[in-house]
Homo-oligomer: A and B are copies of this chain.
Amino acid sequence: MIQSPFNCHFELTLELIGGKWKGLILWHLMEKKVLRNGEMLRLMPRITQKMLTQQLREMEENGLVSRIIYEQVPPKVEYRLTSHGESLRPILNQMIDWGVEYAQDKKIMIACTKQKD
């Protein structure tokens, strides 16, 4: 057993999905199933290469995302959700739905026009 610094399980979950870009990355992976580094950069124009790699590595270490390297030149690397990552889908969807309602109520504009599902 590993001792954790968390006061409750909520904090654990938050730690895993709480990075600046993790929600968006997970959301795209849920939509597209498989994505390469460059595709993600194109899908998220404001993310930097460093942040993308960093967040992906963390999620890989936490077992949310898998990384498959093809031994080619130029390199090819594929990312997809693990089953733990996939099991976050209902939470992501609920958080999006809640955000949509809240934004409507508070008259907040969000840049993204994407539809879920």
Q: Tell me the A residues contacting B by CB distance below 8 Å.
A: 1-4, 6-14, 16-18, 23-24, 27, 44, 46, 63, 84, 87-88, 90-92, 94-103, 105-112, 114
Q: Mostly helix, strand, loop or mixed at chain A's interface?
A: helix
From A113, which residue of chain B is reached at the shortest CB distance? B8
Complex contact B109–A98 (CB within 8 A): no
Closest 8 CB pairs of A and B: A9-B99, A10-B23, A13-B99, A12-B99, A13-B95, A8-B112, A9-B96, A1-B109
From A94, which residue of chain B is reached at the shortest CB distance? B91
Complex contact A84–B100 (CB within 8 A): no
Complex contact B46–A112 (CB within 8 A): no
